[in-house]
Every structure is written in structure tokens, then in C-alpha cells.
Structure 1
């Protein structure tokens, strides 16, 4: 029995990494992503980043997450979007807030909680097989 995360969760993880932490800044140990970099350009780019952020929310909804968690994810995205309207301060806050990473963590905690018995059983089976192979 092998338990794997659903494709929607894996896709959301990749998107969140690209949006929030894909680039390591030189000299300082801070990672940023497209959301922070594109946010430096004024105009419709914040709206584009909101649309991409809401794609992660949609992936959570497609996994069957509860409405309360989806609402929390929407709130995180809205806060990130709102911060983008504050000149300079919003750009700095965007580096540290990382709404997409927060939303993926919500998805991961929910999925793990929903599948704990399967994950535990799979882990026990793999451990038993490893123990058998190495005895």
C-alpha cells in the first residue's frame, strides 16, 4: 500500500514555491518568488498574482476541503492582495507574508489529517518490509 498526495496538492505546492520562495536573494537569507518580484511593478500585476493565488484555493476546493478552510485561504490571498496596494511597504510585506505558502500548509494539514490512517498503515508496511529485508 503506497499513499501519495493528490495531484492537486502537488500542483499547489509547486505553484506556491514559484510564487513565494523560488528565488534566493543574494547576501541576505530570504527567499522570494514571482509574487514579490511582479508586485514591484505597479498596476494590474497584483490582480494577476491574485488570480494565480486563487488557483491554489481552487485546487484545495477540488480536493474537497471544508468551506471554513477555503474561506481562510481566500482571506490569506485577499490580505496579500491588499498589502500590494501600499507603495513600498506592501512590497516589503509581500516578501514576508507568503500567502500561497500559508494556503498550501492549510491544504497539507487537512489532507494529512484526512488520510492519517492510510499514511500510518503505509509507513508501518514499509517499515516492516525494510525490517524484513535487513534482518
Structure 2
């Protein structure tokens, strides 16, 4: 058994992408993070459309991983909801700060991947724990 079980490249890319879009920038004074989605989404219409396309990159990575169509549909629904909220003047801009569809979609990807690889992850973790315990007793 390979004790170096790693998340697939697509999932790692999706995590980085979601971080950039949803939480890359820490706001001063208040404990809140925003990303490009919140900033670019302030541009009426075009900003929201650009962020919808950016969000679909995460969905395409999920499809490339082989995620089931039901989960992909949920991810599309999350992105479209974010897009639709952006069209409501002012309220949509505020919603962009709180509704993090890209992060939600990556969480769906992570849960799906871990559910499908739990046995391998558990085995690898146990092997590393055993090796660590052996080092302590030497």
C-alpha cells in the first residue's frame, strides 16, 4: 500500500482557485476574508458573468475527477445562484461577501473524494502513525 495517498491534482487546483475567488484577501480590522469574486462582482453584469465562468472552472475540474452528475448539478446550481444574486443591485454585492459558491463547490468535491478514498487514506494514516511510533521507541 502506498502510504503517500494524495488528493488528485484537480482537487488541489480547485482548492487554490476557490481560495483566490472567495477568501484570498483578509480585510483589515474585521475578521472576514474576500476574494476576486467579491471585488470583480462589483462590476455590474460583466463582473458577475466573469465570475460565473471562473466558477465553472471548478466544476470542470470536478467533472475531470469523475464526480457523479448529481453532485455536478448541485455545483452548477451553487454557481448559478451566486450569479443570480449578483444581479440584484446592492443586495447582490452584499450577498457576494457571504455566499461563497466556489468554496461550497470545493467542499462538495472534497467530501466526494474522501468518501471514495477513505479506506486508502485511513490505511496510509495508520502506516504513518505506526512508523512514527516505531521511531519514538528506537
The TM-score with structure 2 as length reference comes to 0.96
Q: How many residues align?
A: 135
Partner of 2:55: 53
Task: Give CA-to-partner distance per residue, 1:6-51, whole Å, 9 cap, x none.
Answer: 0000000000000000011111111100000001122312111100
Hey, what's the Cα distance between the residues in 2 that align with 1:102 and 1:62? Answer: 18
Hey, what's the Cα distance between the residues in 1 that align with 2:90 and 2:28? Answer: 20
Task: Give CA-to-partner distance per residue, 1:59-90, whole Å, 9 cap, x none.
Answer: 00100001110000000000000001011110
Runs of 4+ in 1 over 4 A off after TM superposition: none
The TM-score with structure 1 as length reference comes to 0.98
Q: Which runs of 5+ in 1 are unaligned?
A: none
Q: How does 1:1-135 map to 2 (within 5 A)?
A: 1=2, 2-135=4-137
Hey, what's the Cα distance between the residues in 1 that align with 2:30 and 2:40? Answer: 20
Q: Which runs of 5+ in 2 are unaligned?
A: none
Hey, what's the Cα distance between the residues in 2 that align with 1:42 and 1:30? Answer: 23
SS at match of 1:134: helix
Hey, what's the Cα distance between the residues in 1 that align with 2:27 and 2:91? Answer: 18
Q: Once structures 1 and 2 are overlaid, which stretch shifts more, 118-127 or 21-30?
A: 21-30
Hey, what's the Cα distance between the residues in 1 that align with 2:123 and 2:29? Answer: 44
